[in-house]
Amino acid sequence: MTRENDMVHTKLARQVGGAIACLLALEEGILPPTINLLEPDEACDLCYLPNTAVRAEVTLALSNSLGFGGHNACLAFRKVV
């Protein structure tokens, strides 16, 4: 018996959750935090949000899906006024 169908549903749920987080960031203007980040790497120039959400004007949000089988995709959401 294979559990592949269960894993596919789990991946789908994770991606739907990421898309919902993007839409909420656009609607509410809040960037979600990077959870469980205790010590940011000072050599990395990314803008980390360790453990605290930040209010910002969000006009574009990306939701990446990096599949194990090579099926990669990116959804782009843009705020239209």
Q: Name 61's Cβ contacts closer than 8 Å, sequence gap at least 6.
A: 22, 23, 25, 26, 76, 77
Which structure tokens are listed for 37? 């980040």
pLDDT at 3: 53
pTM summary value: 0.71
pLDDT at 2 over 70: no
pLDDT at 81: 79
pLDDT at 57: 92
Q: Is 9 helix (H, G, I), strand (E, B) or coil?
A: helix
pLDDT mean over 27-47? 83
Most confident of 8-12, 54-58, 61-65: 54-58
Distance, in Å, from the CA atom of 4 to the CA atom of 8, rounded to the nearest integer, reads 6
